[in-house]
Structure 1
Amino acid sequence: MARTREFDTEAAVSRAMELFWMNGYEATSVRDLTQQLGIGQGSLYAAFGDKEGLYRAALEHYRTTLAAAALRSLKEGTDARSAIRTMLVERIRIAAGGDGRGCLAINAACERLPENTAIRRTVRDMQDASRDALAEVLRVAAERGEIAARHDPHTLAAFLVTFLNGLLVSSKITPDVHALEPLVEVALAALG
C-alpha cells in the first residue's frame, strides 16, 4: 500500500524556489532542501525524483507565479509606455531585493546552461512569453499612434527582453534600484 504524502507539495516547491533563488542550484544541497522544506530525503526523492526535479518544479512555479504576474501587469497598463515602464521597474525591484538575488530564470540560464536542455526549454518558454506579450502591446500601441512604427514590434520586443535580461544580471552586481531605474528610460526611448 502506497503511503500518503505527508506534506504540502506546492508549499514545498515554493520554499525550494526561494532557496534556489537565493543560493543557486549548485550551492543548495539536498540537506539544505530537506531542512528548509521540513521533509525527509526519501520524501523529497519520492515527490520530485531528485534535486534536479525539485529545481525544475521550482522554476516552473516561478514561471506560473511571478513571471506570469509580470505579464498580467503588462496587459493591464493604460498605455504601452507606462505599462512597459512599470513591468521593467517592478522586475528590477524584485531582482534587486534580497541583496541582489536577481531573477530565478536568468540565474538558471547563467548557472545551468548550456548543458541542461530541460532548463533551457523552460527559460526559453518564459522569454518567448515575455517577448510575445510585449510584441502585442507594442503592435497595438503602434496602431494607436502611441509609439513610432519604425521598428517591427517583434524585434522591438526582443530588444526589450534582451535589455531586461541584462538589467536582471546587473541587479546581482549592483542591487540598487535607484541606479538601475534610469536605464529603463533609455530603453523606452527606442519606442520613439
Structure 2
Amino acid sequence: MARTKEFDPDAALQSALELFWRRGYEATSMADLVEHLGIGRASIYATFGNKHELYLKALDRYNETRDPGLLHELSQPGPALPAVRTVVRRFATEAGSSERVKGCFVTNTAAELGAHDPAATRRVEASWSHLETLLHSALIRARAQGELPADRDPLTLARMLLVLMQGLRVVGKASDDPGRVRDAAEQALRLLD
C-alpha cells in the first residue's frame, strides 16, 4: 500500500520558491530546504526531484503566478500608451520599494544562472518574451491609434522597455535611491512621445 503524503506539495513548492527567491540557488542547500519546508530530504526528492529540479519548478510557479493582470492591463480597449506608461512606472515603483531586496525571481535567475544553466535560461527567456510580446502588442495598437508617432518601431521600443524594466529591477535591488530608477523610467518613457 502506497503511503499518503504527509505534506501539501503545493504549499511546499511555494515555500521553496520563497526561500530560493530570498537566498538564490547557490546559497540554498538541501539542508536549508529540508529545514525551511519542514519535510524530509527523501520526500523532497520523491516529490520534486533534486535541488535543481525543485528550483526550476519554483521558477515555473513564479512565472505562472507573477503579475497575472499584466495581460489584462496592456490589452484593454482604448488608448494603449497610458497602460504602457503605468506598467513601466509600476516596475520602477516596485524596484524602489522595501521589497526590492528580493528583486524579481526571473531577473535574479538570469543574473545567477543565465550564463551556465540552459534550463533556467529557457525559462527566463520565456518570461521576457511574454513581457516583450505584451508590450509590443500594446505599442502596435498605440501606433495604429495615432498615439505613437508613425516612425517609431513598436518592436524596438518593446525591447528597449523590457531591458529597461529588467535593469530597473537590478539597480533597484541594490540602490537606496528610489529616484534613480524612477528618473530612468521617466526618461525612457519620453521616447514614446
TM value normalised by structure 2: 0.90
Equivalenced residue count is: 192
Q: Distance in 1 between matches of 2:92 and 2:137?
A: 22
Further displaced range: 132-141 or 92-101: 92-101
Matched-pair contact (CA < 8 Å) for 1:22–1:98: no
Unaligned runs of 5+ in 2: none
Assess, with a 3 A threshold, how the Cα gap between structure 1 residues 88 and 18 changes in structure 2: closer, same or farther: farther
Q: Distance in 2 between matches of 1:27 and 1:78?
A: 46
Deviation by residue 1:30-54 (Cα, 9 ceiling, x = unmatched): 1221222221111111111111111
Q: Distance in 2 between matches of 1:9 and 1:92?
A: 34
Bigger fraction of residues in helix: 1
Matched-pair contact (CA < 8 Å) for 1:135–1:156: yes
Deviation by residue 1:97-117 (Cα, 9 ceiling, x = unmatched): 435221110110110122110
1:104 maps to which residue? 105
Large movers: runs of 4+ above 4 Å: none
1:61 maps to which residue? 61
Matched-pair contact (CA < 8 Å) for 1:99–1:175: no
Q: Which amino acid letter does the alignment assign opposite residue 70 of structure 2?
A: A
Assess, with a 3 A threshold, how the Cα gap between structure 1 residues 70 and 23 changes in structure 2: closer, same or farther: farther
Q: Distance in 2 between matches of 1:110 and 1:60?
A: 17
Q: Distance in 2 between matches of 1:163 and 1:77?
A: 25
Q: Distance in 2 between matches of 1:72 and 1:41?
A: 40
Q: Is 1:174 aligned to 2:175, yes or no?
A: yes
Q: Distance in 1 between matches of 2:188 and 2:173?
A: 20
1:38 maps to which residue? 38
TM value normalised by structure 1: 0.90
Matched-pair contact (CA < 8 Å) for 2:88–2:185: yes
Root-mean-square deviation over aligned CA pairs: 1.9
Task: Give the 5 Å matches for 1:15-30.
Answer: 15-30=15-30
Q: Is 1:6 aligned to 2:19, yes or no?
A: no
Assess, with a 3 A threshold, how the Cα gap between structure 1 residues 69 and 12 changes in structure 2: closer, same or farther: farther
Deviation by residue 1:157-178 (Cα, 9 ceiling, x = unmatched): 1111011111111011115544
Matched-pair contact (CA < 8 Å) for 2:92–2:185: no
**Partner secondary structure for residue 138 of structure 2:** helix
**Partner secondary structure for residue 66 of structure 2:** helix
Task: Give the 5 Å matches for 1:156-175.
Answer: 156-175=157-176
Q: Distance in 2 between matches of 1:54 and 1:147?
A: 43
- Give the share of equivalent positions with the same residue, in percent: 39
